[in-house]
Structure 1
Amino acid sequence: MSHKSVLEVLKDRATVQRDNVAKQLATLQHERQQASEQQQLLHHYQHDYQQLLRHESEGGIYSYRRDNYYAFLQTVEHALTAQSAAVEVLDQQQQHLLDDWQQSRQKVNALQVLIERRNQRNSLCQARAQQKSSDEFANRRFQGKES
């Protein structure tokens, strides 16, 4: 049974953390996309109703209908303001998560570099020990033939 080194355990944990942040980021990006689509839809409603109001006003419009249009347009404007604020909050959250993901990725990469360096040092030490053992064996054999 192979035991993981502390660096490998830390890398595994950092990888899980990075992957979790990536999932959160993907979810948040989806939410941001939906919020943006809703914002665009509200802009279309606003534009369409402004066009309807202009069109009806050209031919004459009853004041109650005009008031209804204005009330609805005001409601749409409030909804647009709220939706714009929601999109801005999602943008900030997305940037924060993106920063977290980048830090997590850098941590995983740094731990991987440390593991690779440790493995290289271990391989070098093993190669040196093996070379020393071979040299000692050859030296004993050589000395045995001289006697």
Structure 2
Amino acid sequence: MANTLPLAMLIELAQNKTDDATRRLGQLQRAQIGAAEKLALLIQYRQEYVDRLQAKMQEGVPSSHWRNFQNFIGTLDGAIEQQRAVVAQAEARLNHGRSDWQHSKRRLNSFDTLADRVRQQAALALGKREQRDSDEHAARQFQLRAQALTR
């Protein structure tokens, strides 16, 4: 039993670490999804703005509006590129978090496998001990009967 206590502690620690890694992975997934959604919104907004300008250009657009449009599209393009970088960073963090979680899960599974082996060995040892005790008891009973018959 003294050997299983440290193993139980290791399993508990590994379980806690796996739980923490799972929570972090969930947070990283939500952050990545949020960043990707924001990027999609920026791209959609840019496309809608371009579509509106094209519709207005058919009516005629003053040059000042055209310059404002170009400046605004440039600003949107800059924001889109920045958001693409944010998405790439979020994906990298997500991949790292996924790797951490997998490592934690493998470690926990290793400890669980080891604990199963310890339990199997203990059960086997107990079975052998019970069989030995039963054999000894039967041998004593046999000796007692043999002695009783010889008297």
Which category describes the TM-score, using the shorter chain as reference length?
A: over 0.9
**TM-score, with normalisation over the residues of structure 1?**
0.94
Partner of 2:29: 29
After superposing the two structures, state which structure 1 stretch, 120-129 or 3-12, moved more: 3-12
After superposing the two structures, state which structure 1 stretch, 77-86 or 122-131, moved more: 122-131
CA distance in 2, matches of 1:44, 1:129: 74
Partner of 1:117: 117
Please state how far the C-alpha of 1:55 moved relative to its aligned partner: 1.7
The alignment-based identity, stated in percent, is: 28
Please state how far the C-alpha of 1:58 moved relative to its aligned partner: 2.1
**TM-score, with normalisation over the residues of structure 2?**
0.92
CA distance in 1, matches of 2:3, 2:32: 43
- Where has structure 1 moved over 6 Å in runs of 4 or more? none
Partner of 2:18: 18
Structure 2: unaligned runs, 5 residues or longer: none
After superposing the two structures, state which structure 1 stretch, 125-134 or 75-84, moved more: 125-134
CA distance in 1, matches of 2:116, 2:52: 68
Count of residue pairs the alignment pairs up: 146
Query: Is residue 49 from structure 1 mapped to residue 49 from structure 2 by the alignment?
Result: yes
CA RMSD in angstroms, aligned pairs only: 1.5
Corresponding letter in the other structure for 1:31 = A
Q: Which residues in structure 2 correspond to 1:1-147 (within 5 Å)?
A: 5-147=5-147
